[in-house]
Amino acid sequence: MKVLHIIVSMAPEYGGPVLTVSGLVSALAQEGIHCEIFTTLWKKDSADAMPSCTVPINRFDVEFSSRFWLGYSKSLTKTLWDRIGSGAFDLVHVHEPWHYPGFVAFRGACKQGIPYVLSLHGALEAWCLRQKAFKKWVYMRMIQGHILKFADALHALTNEEMKQISELGYRTPVFIAPNGVDSSQFEYLPDISEFLAAYPELSGKRVILFIGRLHKKKGLDVLARSYASLSHKFKNVALLVAGPDEDGTQKRMESILKTSSALRGTVFTGMLTGKDKLAALACADLFVLSSYSEGFSVAVIEALAAGLPVVISRQCNFPEVSEHNAGFVVEPDDMAVTEAISTLLSDDQLRARMGQNGRNLVREKYTWNAVAASMAGLYRKLVARRSTKQK
């Protein structure tokens, strides 16, 4: 079976969906599913910086109109329609709504009569729908609503996301499969001496870690205020913030931290990948994601796989963290996050127990091999159903 995956960007700065697509397509190969990726290349992106992948990645330059319709590309349109029209693919799988490549892929799939799967990645969560609400309302009425209604399947990451789809009135079949990781990458973390040499402020400190895009939805204002409070209670604690600044969030964090005299204990590294990201996980004592809105965070799974206890918000849609005693699930408010972090910082044995529980949880339920097996089953079911209808 041949499957085309569509994602608007494969640049690392685009966040979790990039890691999701890379991990999924690699694992699908072991299920006998041959994948290709179509994506767009923006001027700020570097093809060399994109993650390595075991399947072909076709990159297409965007045009000026991409400012108004994300990912607009005539070259992508032509190639996509030619390849789908020639029967090169048995199924199209689009990652995230709202963008032009997903729309073109839907039209091509409908014309050719092949199944279309849409992974939502949390895009229909209420908080997300409130951002640029009028623009999304118009797009939903004109285009996206039709795609959601007539897709062969919608892929939800969690039960909560499936509930959100139902509450919006869509009756399209929903398939639930979480994100995953290659847990073997986190079994043996690197020596941290080089990392500490680059960031000496972390030496001898207990480190609170955030990895991800610096964006207002991530609740980093809550984390900044919590750390500011904790820095006065615990004198040997540092905050490590790793990720690209997408919307000026770093400046807002710095303002909060400076006001509370906590900026000196904070390290902003920018985007970390590969060995540097693993080193950041290795030198951390706990991981925090106090997000206001999430699909299903890859960063949280990676932190658990690395043996870190986590403090996450309820909006991360990961209740198993609490159920398996791998960390704390709290509301994204200052008091709750501060209390959870304080509890972990005060108890070395608790951190160790929760860290091991998190590792076990990932090994049991959140490897890419397990996710790919489920996804391959969905693909085969949809292709067989289409074949039956067309006879």
pLDDT of residue 349: 97
Distance from CA of residue 220 to its chain's centroid? 16
Contact 216, 291 (CB under 8 A): no
Report how far apart, in Å, the C-alpha atoms of 141 and of each of 71, 148, 155, 173 are: 20, 11, 21, 20
First vs last C-alpha separation in the chain: 19
pLDDT of residue 361: 95
pLDDT of residue 130: 85
pLDDT of residue 45: 57
DSSP symbols for 232-281: HH-TTEEEEEES-BSSSHHHHHHHHHHHTT-GGGEEEEE---HHHHHHHH
pLDDT of residue 44: 59
- Which domains are present in the chain? 2-180+368-390 (3.40.50.2000), 183-365 (3.40.50.2000)
Kindly report the pTM of this predicted structure.
0.85
pLDDT of residue 11: 85
User: If DSSP codes are grouped into helix, strand and coil, which group holds residue 313?
Assistant: strand
The pLDDT averaged over each successive group of 10 residues in the chain (391 residues) is 94 82 92 95 59 81 87 93 94 94 94 94 84 87 92 92 89 92 89 95 96 93 96 93 91 93 93 93 97 90 97 94 97 96 96 97 92 94 82 55
The β-bridge partners of 116 are: 92
Cα–Cα dist 258/366, whole Å: 39
